[in-house]
Chain A
Amino acid sequence: MSLSAKDKAAVRDLWAKISGKADDIGQDALSRMLVVYPQTKTYFSHWKDLSPGSAPVRKHGKTVMSGVAEAVSKIDDLTSGLLNLSELHAFQLRVDPANFKILSHNILVVLAILFPTDFTPEAHVAMDKFLSALSLALSEKYR
């Protein structure tokens, strides 16, 4: 299920429309992840406040979305483009890769909320494929 030229164009198109709100998207997606999938809180036990929209959540949402932005720019070769991020997640953070799916789902929910007309089924499938490919690239160094 690799990204076709059409998928990449759709992702770039959608990204152009949404990137202005990247920080909001990141904060909202992360907030939802922590509430809807409480098991994910395990990775953030060092934060003082895990509630939706809190300062650490907002800050980390930005970090996550700048990773997504980087991935968009490296969409033609995600695996080599995201090697450093993969090492970070595999060796330091040791995030269970199952959580990539969870965060991806919440990013899609936020896109549907913030951009209901732009997030067409066609944009949805392209974005879903892109986030899956991104997750796979992040998992590259795990074993």
Chain B
Amino acid sequence: MVEWSDSERSTIASVWGKINVDEIGPQALARVLIVYPWTQRYFGAFGNLSSATHGRTVLNALDKAVKNLDNIKGTYSELSQLHCDKLNVDPDNFRLLADCLTIVVASAFGSALSPAVQATWQKFLSVVVAALSSRYF
């Protein structure tokens, strides 16, 4: 079970509150597709679906995690099934997206993303990544 301190909970809520999903989502996804080009393979099947739309979808899904910090694994059970069993995404790519998301958030937040805030944000993302990967083991 993941433990969240009160200060971590408020940090996550505060960071999430400042994130513009419509901007950050597409930016993060676009960055992943450029920095790690093999990930484009997973989006070929989308055809005309713009990566802007999917970027928003992905980031909106994080909202569920923010609102269910004490049960991220359960909250993501279906999404994990989708990504693991149907889409067959290598779980290492979840970590790559998480890293790109951190970098995009860093661009947007500047020094407001202090080392301590970065630590909490990355802890949150690693719990999300683990939940998404949970169907593999």
Contacts and interface: CB of A to CB of B under 8 A. Distances in A.
B66 interface: no
B34 A124 contact: yes
Contact of A31 (B104, B106, B107, B115): B115
Interface residues of A, number: 19
B82 interface: no
B115 A128 contact: no
B30 interface: yes
Interface of B (DSSP majority class): helix
Given A36-B115, A52-B115, A128 B122 contact: no
A124 B103 contact: yes
Interface in B104-124: 104, 106-111, 113-116, 118-119, 122
Interface string A105-122: 100111011001001011
Given A36-B115, A113-B107, 4 more contacts: A109-B113, A116-B110, A121-B30, A121-B35
Interchain residue pairs A-B with the least CB separation, the first 4: A35-B115, A112-B106, A121-B34, A116-B107
Interface of B: 30-31, 34-35, 99, 102-104, 106-111, 113-116, 118-119, 122
